[in-house]
Amino acid sequence: MQNAKTDVFVVGGGPAGLVAAMAARKKGFTVMLADGAEPPIDKPCGEGLMPETLAALRELDIAPDSGEGHEFRGIQFIQKGKRFAADFPEGYGMGLRRPILHAMLVAKAEKSGVRLLWKTPVSGITPEGVQLKSGLVPARWIVGADGGGSRVRRWSGLDELAQRTQRFATRRHYRVQPWSEYMEIHWAKGAQAYVTPIGREEVCVVVMAERLQDADFAKVLAELPELRERLNGAELASRERGAVTVMYRLKNVARGNVALVGDASGGVDAITGEGLRLAFRQSLALAAAMEANDLQGYEEAHRELAQRPMRMGKLMLLLGRNDALRQKSFGALASKPQLFEKLLAVHVGRATPAQMVRTGVQLGWRFLSA
């Protein structure tokens, strides 16, 4: 290892790191990637890939087979018997078990020529390269894709925060036939449950709340009789796992020859279902910036990519927190289904700024147009 060197060294082999590595390979760089864990790596996640997330993967010729997951056509909100749904303006989403997504990305990365080092934690970085137990690996570019608790972020002095909020989440898989063609978000007081169909006989359910004690299945399901009924008697298909979902923005995501991608570079609340799309889009933007030898270009692209999901994330948190606003807004959405379609179009980036302003005005949400 002492003499090995690479154009790009990616620290972390989660979805962001693997896609960043493949995007860099596609630009002709030699790429090495190290992760302390071993594939397939599981992680608590809602496991929903939005149409735009799938579109980002297609740019690297990656297309999950619908037999591996379960397609859904849009989003449905449900609260106290009120429900409203909207189809995605284009395409479909897909629920895909996290280890399946990971195994698929690992196979593709290997095939594209990325040198993958598993069970290989990175212990430090220098301007010359990346420190492994076996020695320093010289690298022109260092990509920090080491997740929300990123050490690369700290080592490179990029951990100055612009803003941060966090919530708690608990994930379960239930062995039950998906009952809806939509990804569902059930709203309770101070908590939400979202349900992603992920297979012919399986759904992924995540409950989320601002207080740890509220992200509790028994407590949340007690408030959601319809969902409780659906899950009643269904066998658990995995071990329950907890997670923290952090919404944060950094002042900078690149410095010198180091750049951050994925959760290491910022985060949006899990309820947006946008974490993976952002990670993949950032990875594509970073490869283009490294090719152009211009990490400033990546800074700008990253900031722009984060704007819409951040805004939608804040909106969801506000609706979760403010019962009166939620009742009023859901009343308006239930009576005008086309409004929810417009909101979903805004969410997936298929609305023009003018349409976004109009939707905000119709809902009385001035901040949507701010």
Ligand X SMILES: Cc1cc2nc3c(=O)[nH]c(=O)nc-3n(C[C@H](O)[C@H](O)[C@H](O)COP(=O)(O)OP(=O)(O)OC[C@H]3O[C@@H](n4cnc5c(N)ncnc54)[C@H](O)[C@@H]3O)c2cc1C
Binding-site ranges for ligand X (CB under 6 A): 11-17, 34-37, 41, 43-48, 53, 121-122, 145-147, 151, 169, 171, 206, 243, 245, 262-264, 270, 273-277, 279
Distance of alpha carbon 265 from alpha carbon 292, whole angstroms: 20
CB 70, min distance to ligand X, A: 13
CB 195, min distance to ligand X, A: 11
Residue 39 or 82: the one with the smaller Cβ distance to ligand X is 39
Residue 17 or 320: the one with the smaller Cβ distance to ligand X is 17
Residue 31 or 243: the one with the smaller Cβ distance to ligand X is 243
CB 193, min distance to ligand X, A: 12
CB 366, min distance to ligand X, A: 28
AA identity, residue 76: Q
Sequence-ordered list of residues with C-beta below 8 angstroms from that of 248, at least 6 positions apart, any chain? 161, 162, 163, 164, 165, 266, 267
Looking up tokens 């819409």 gives 308
CB 281, min distance to ligand X, A: 11
Distance of alpha carbon 362 from alpha carbon 172, whole angstroms: 36
CB 267, min distance to ligand X, A: 7
Residue 262 or 360: the one with the smaller Cβ distance to ligand X is 262
Q: What are phi and psi of 367, to 5 degrees?
A: -65, -20
CB 270, min distance to ligand X, A: 3
Q: Is 229 exposed, middle or buried (0-12, 13-18, 19+ CB in 10 A)?
A: exposed
Residue 89 or 99: the one with the smaller Cβ distance to ligand X is 99
Sequence-ordered list of residues with C-beta below 8 angstroms from that of 295, at least 6 positions apart, any chain? 254, 257, 259, 289
The closest alpha carbon to 257, from 160, 156, 161, belongs to 156
Element (H, E) at 228: helix 225-231
Residue 46 or 360: the one with the smaller Cβ distance to ligand X is 46
Residue 267 or 360: the one with the smaller Cβ distance to ligand X is 267
What are the C-alpha distances in Å from 45 to residues 15, 75, 101, 159, 196? 12, 17, 11, 24, 10
Residue 44 or 69: the one with the smaller Cβ distance to ligand X is 44
CB 36, min distance to ligand X, A: 4
CB 324, min distance to ligand X, A: 27
Cβ atoms < 10 Å from Cβ of 352: 10
Looking up tokens 């007690």 gives 222
Residue 270 or 319: the one with the smaller Cβ distance to ligand X is 270
Residue 147 or 360: the one with the smaller Cβ distance to ligand X is 147
Distance of alpha carbon 93 from alpha carbon 237, whole angstroms: 22
What percent of the residues of the chain are helix, what percent strand, and what percent coil, each to the nearest 5?
40, 30, 30
CB 146, min distance to ligand X, A: 4
| Secondary structure class of 213 (helix, strand, coil) | helix
Long-range contacts of residues 22-25, Cβ cutoff 8 Å, at least 24 apart: 22/60, 22/62, 22/105, 22/108, 22/109, 22/112, 22/114, 22/283, 23/60, 23/283, 23/284, 23/286, 23/287, 24/141, 24/143, 24/286, 24/287, 24/290, 25/109, 25/112, 25/113, 25/114
